[in-house]
Chains A and B, each alone.
Chain A
Amino acid sequence: MNTIALVGNPNSGKTTLFNALTGTNQHVGNWPGVTVEKKEGILNFKNKKYNIVDLPGTYSLGAYSEDEIVARDFILKDEPDVVINVVDATNIERNLYLTTQLLEMGTKVIVALNMMDEAKEKNISIDIKKLSKELGVPVVATIASKKNGIEKLIEESINMMSAGNVPQNKINYGKDIDNEINKLKEIIENSNLNTEYPSEWIAIKLLEGDEYISEITDKNILKIAHESGDAIAIAAMEPELIIVDKRYEFIGNIVNKTVKKPKEEIITKSDKIDKVLTHKWLGLPIFALIMLIVYQLTFAIGEDILQEGLNAGMETFTASVESFLVNVNAPELLTAFITDGILGGVGAVIEFVPLIAVMYLLLGILEDSGYMARAAYVMDRIMRSLGLHGKTFISMLVGVGCNVPGIMATRTLDSKKDRMIAILINPFISCGARLPIYLVFISAFFPKHKALILFSIYAFGFLVAIIMGKIFSKTLFEGESSYFVMELPPYRFPTLKGTLLNMWDKVSSFLKRAGTTIFAVVTVLWILSVLPYGVEPYSQSSILGKIGTVIAPIFKPAGFGTWQASVGLFAGIVAKEAVVATLGMVYAGVEEGAQLVTAIQGAFTPLSALSFMIMTLLYTPCAAVIGTIRRETNSTKWAVFTALYTFAVGWIISVAIFQIGGLFGLS
């Protein structure tokens, strides 16, 4: 199957084009070894299939971030048959910068000149034929959001696949640099340097001071490259800056010949909206209001409407499975395993699908509309004063739904330091799965101050996260926090298709987890609760009960040193949803409801209940989060570290609450 790769700047409409080409035929994964998302899909065109790879959105193909390295390695090593370069027509100079780098790579490029409708609105006219001639590659005008020009783009791409030679359009870097490039190229060709990259490209990258290429080049060549660079620097200025300048000069010449822009910028609707949304004083309250609405809608639609329907469906399903198993005389243990263990446990997780789906739908709309960039802008002021990056706050907000996507949302942070801190503190943000735990304890002890206590718990989680972030930035990670530089894309109406596809990505990965990890763990927990054979399920004499008895003394200073509470917390490491279900089983033999509340009132005091809630807020995140941290940091060490330090923080704070509360005579 032939492969077509998509490259382009962030916000150039690349993902919209990808959706238009592949439809629902897409698959999201990770690039091997790095934490960059890989999107692939299949295009069906005239009875033939093509593999479409959506490369990460980048401004350049240097070595600034993992994204850039992934994109250029794919182009140079995997050699896609054609590369479609998505160019934002309203912002052509900067977008063509990436194009110049593609031309240098000697790959087959087609330019999709996208967002032609917005360019027209801004009175920008572009001579497409001339642009194509000047660049030496085909240019197709498209409006990806309206599917305009897509067919022509595909046809051109297919034509190009069968075309023999790669278009050649060299940038003139000036005599000095061109001489050095040729010299280096020759040396590289005559050396035994074995890379999959073209030698002229390596030569340019060495002069640009590309860290990644410098590392893989042998020392002798590197030394010559440094000498070349120094020679140029003495004659003019740093070669890497001359190279960038020359690329812009090349672009400038082309743009002068082909693009007509109005002299004065038109004040767009986006500008007017921005006046309000990024306002010095209004920005923050508006952001708070928008988030409040998102959470309210999430609970109103996701929980009250959809979840109730789903629960009723699950109950009916469980009941009919149970009666079927009884009818066919299945062994009692098997029936119990399937209904209590699997359907009870996995069901508890599936219950959260509506919540997650609605939350992602809303967050996706905010993202696609361009608002999220403004939110990061508004929050940067506060976060910066705390030593954290503005985008960290976005990942924390997403974490309120679930920490797994919260941690994945840290991908937008450029510097490793900022990103690591954002990952490590995310588990303190209380996710949706912890909510039922608080609800049970609050109903049992603080029914009069429901909203206040709940809000305080969430706020406390944010506070601990921010404090730990500050500590980490001073101790664990050296170096300066990265600069804040971020594009504010124009506001756009999100497309229905894009939003739904995005939501489906998230929900399906959640479902996959429920079907694999959580299924496995629920099974193990259930087995532990019924062994040794013949024991009363979920009693202290079961293995699960014995584990709880062993752990219990650890929690004595925190006020909940019972085997039941310990078992609940133990189950919570698997999945936070399991805490309430487990407590229900060990305390009352019920899964939830009024009986559990009564049982909790008997087993806890208001103070130990508070301490227990804080423990569940802060202690070790669930297995899925630990797994995500391992994947995102590419390190088992950091995953284990997070599991342990969050436990320590939770334990210390809940012990402090119980002990200090005791000193004041509270109980």
Chain B
Amino acid sequence: MANMPLNFFSEGQKGKVDNIVGGEKISKRLYEMGFNKGTEVKIVKNDAGPIIVSLSGYKIAIGRGLAQKIMVSQ
């Protein structure tokens, strides 16, 4: 199972959050917003600008810089 940063996924793909390779503060923030390990993410939009993902039905927009730090397994 390949592990890739979130921004490598294309629209409609699904994956599971594996870990976040960022500073403690932003990692914790993302966990608290629902990006905890094992959560299923679905990429709703990934074209230009922030990426939109769906975490069990609710949508979050994430800047591309931050999306690079979220590792997702397919």
Across the two chains, which residue of chain B brings its CB closest to A376?
B61
What is the minimal beta-carbon distance from B5 to any residue of chain A, in angstroms? Answer: 14
For B49, what are the chain A residues with a Cβ–Cβ distance below 8 Å? 280, 377-378, 380-381, 384
A280 CA / B47 CA spacing, docked (Å): 7
What is the minimal beta-carbon distance from A35 to any residue of chain B, in angstroms? Answer: 20
What is the minimal beta-carbon distance from B50 to any residue of chain A, in angstroms? Answer: 5
Across the two chains, which residue of chain B brings its CB closest to A283?
B49
A377 CA / B55 CA spacing, docked (Å): 18
A486 CA / B49 CA spacing, docked (Å): 13
A134 CA / B26 CA spacing, docked (Å): 30
Are B36 and A488 in touch, CB under 8 angstroms?
A: no
A377 CA / B33 CA spacing, docked (Å): 17
Across the two chains, which residue of chain B brings its CB closest to A237?
B19
Are B33 and A241 in touch, CB under 8 angstroms?
A: no
- Which residues of B, 2-51, contact A by the 8 Å Cβ criterion? 24-34, 36-37, 42, 44-45, 47-50
For B31, what are the chain A residues with a Cβ–Cβ distance below 8 Å? 241, 244-245, 248
Are B36 and A484 in touch, CB under 8 angstroms?
A: no
- Which residues of A, 240-285, contact B by the 8 Å Cβ criterion? 240-241, 244-245, 248, 261, 265, 271, 274, 278, 280
Are A278 and B45 in touch, CB under 8 angstroms?
A: yes
Across the two chains, which residue of chain B brings its CB closest to A65?
B29
A617 CA / B62 CA spacing, docked (Å): 35
Are B60 and A91 in touch, CB under 8 angstroms?
A: no
Are B61 and A483 in touch, CB under 8 angstroms?
A: no
Are A484 and B47 in touch, CB under 8 angstroms?
A: no
A245 CA / B25 CA spacing, docked (Å): 15
* Number of A-B pairs, beta carbon distance below 8 Å: 107
A344: interface (CB < 8 Å)? no
Q: How does the 8 Å CB contact mask read for A346-368 relative to B, with 1 for contact and 0 for none?
A: 00000000000000000000000
What is the minimal beta-carbon distance from B38 to any residue of chain A, in angstroms? Answer: 8
For B57, what are the chain A residues with a Cβ–Cβ distance below 8 Å? 90-91, 122, 265
Are B59 and A488 in touch, CB under 8 angstroms?
A: yes
A490 CA / B36 CA spacing, docked (Å): 22
A94: interface (CB < 8 Å)? yes
Across the two chains, which residue of chain B brings its CB closest to A98?
B32
Are B36 and A244 in touch, CB under 8 angstroms?
A: yes
A93: interface (CB < 8 Å)? yes
- Decide: A485 near B63, CB < 8 A? Known: A97-B32, A278-B45: yes
A384 CA / B28 CA spacing, docked (Å): 24
For A274, what are the chain B residues with a Cβ–Cβ distance below 8 Å? 44-45, 52, 59
B74: interface (CB < 8 Å)? no
Are B28 and A244 in touch, CB under 8 angstroms?
A: yes
A280 CA / B30 CA spacing, docked (Å): 25
Of B28, B30, B32, B61, which contacts A377 at CB under 8 A?
A: B61
Are A380 and B63 in touch, CB under 8 angstroms?
A: yes
A390 CA / B62 CA spacing, docked (Å): 12
Are B28 and A59 in touch, CB under 8 angstroms?
A: no
Are B48 and A245 in touch, CB under 8 angstroms?
A: no
For A486, what are the chain B residues with a Cβ–Cβ distance below 8 Å? 50, 60-61
Are B56 and A93 in touch, CB under 8 angstroms?
A: yes
Are B36 and A245 in touch, CB under 8 angstroms?
A: yes
Are B34 and A93 in touch, CB under 8 angstroms?
A: yes
For A611, what are the chain B residues with a Cβ–Cβ distance below 8 Å? none
For A484, what are the chain B residues with a Cβ–Cβ distance below 8 Å? 50, 61-63, 65-66
For B60, what are the chain A residues with a Cβ–Cβ distance below 8 Å? 485-488
Of A59, A94, A271, A381, which contacts B48 at CB under 8 A?
A: A381
Tell which of B42, B44, B50 has the most Cβ of chain A within 10 Å.
B50
A60: interface (CB < 8 Å)? yes
- Which residues of A, 485-502, contact B by the 8 Å Cβ criterion? 485-490
Are B55 and A94 in touch, CB under 8 angstroms?
A: yes
Are A94 and B34 in touch, CB under 8 angstroms?
A: yes
A8: interface (CB < 8 Å)? no
What is the minimal beta-carbon distance from A131 to any residue of chain B, in angstroms? Answer: 17
For B47, what are the chain A residues with a Cβ–Cβ distance below 8 Å? 280
Are A483 and B26 in touch, CB under 8 angstroms?
A: yes
B73: interface (CB < 8 Å)? no
A485 CA / B26 CA spacing, docked (Å): 10
For B63, what are the chain A residues with a Cβ–Cβ distance below 8 Å? 380, 384, 483-485
Of B37, B45, B56, B61, which contacts A485 at CB under 8 A?
A: B61
A209: interface (CB < 8 Å)? yes
What is the minimal beta-carbon distance from A573 to any residue of chain B, in angstroms? Answer: 38
A337: interface (CB < 8 Å)? no
Tell which of A91, A245, A274, A488 has the most Cβ of chain B within 10 Å.
A488
Are A487 and B58 in touch, CB under 8 angstroms?
A: yes
- Decide: A241 near B28, CB < 8 A? Known: A93-B34, A248-B36, A484-B50: yes
A59 CA / B30 CA spacing, docked (Å): 10
A64: interface (CB < 8 Å)? yes
For B61, what are the chain A residues with a Cβ–Cβ distance below 8 Å? 373, 377, 380, 484-488
Across the two chains, which residue of chain A brings its CB closest to B54?
A265
For B27, what are the chain A residues with a Cβ–Cβ distance below 8 Å? 241
Are A485 and B32 in touch, CB under 8 angstroms?
A: no
A238: interface (CB < 8 Å)? yes
Are B36 and A278 in touch, CB under 8 angstroms?
A: no
What is the minimal beta-carbon distance from A391 to any residue of chain B, in angstroms? Answer: 11
What is the minimal beta-carbon distance from B31 to any residue of chain A, in angstroms? Answer: 5
A265 CA / B47 CA spacing, docked (Å): 22
A62: interface (CB < 8 Å)? yes
For B59, what are the chain A residues with a Cβ–Cβ distance below 8 Å? 274, 487-488
Across the two chains, which residue of chain B brings its CB closest to A63?
B25
What is the minimal beta-carbon distance from A502 to any residue of chain B, in angstroms? Answer: 23
Are B36 and A91 in touch, CB under 8 angstroms?
A: no
What is the minimal beta-carbon distance from B66 to any residue of chain A, in angstroms? Answer: 4
Tell which of B54, B56, B57, B65 has the most Cβ of chain A within 10 Å.
B57
For A90, what are the chain B residues with a Cβ–Cβ distance below 8 Å? 57-58
Are A244 and B32 in touch, CB under 8 angstroms?
A: yes
Are A280 and B48 in touch, CB under 8 angstroms?
A: yes
A60 CA / B32 CA spacing, docked (Å): 7
A64 CA / B29 CA spacing, docked (Å): 8
Across the two chains, which residue of chain B brings its CB closest to A58?
B32
Are A485 and B33 in touch, CB under 8 angstroms?
A: yes
A273 CA / B72 CA spacing, docked (Å): 27
Q: Which 7 A-B pairs have the closest CB atoms?
A: A484-B63, A381-B49, A94-B34, A483-B66, A488-B59, A60-B32, A244-B31
**Can you name 21 A-B pairs with beta carbons within 8 Å?**
A59-B29, A64-B28, A90-B57, A93-B34, A94-B58, A97-B34, A122-B57, A208-B28, A209-B24, A240-B28, A241-B27, A244-B28, A280-B47, A378-B49, A483-B65, A484-B50, A485-B30, A486-B50, A487-B58, A488-B61, A489-B58
Contacts A94-B55, A265-B54 aside, 10 further interface pairs with beta carbons under 8 A come to A62-B32, A93-B34, A244-B28, A245-B36, A381-B48, A384-B63, A485-B29, A485-B30, A485-B60, A485-B63
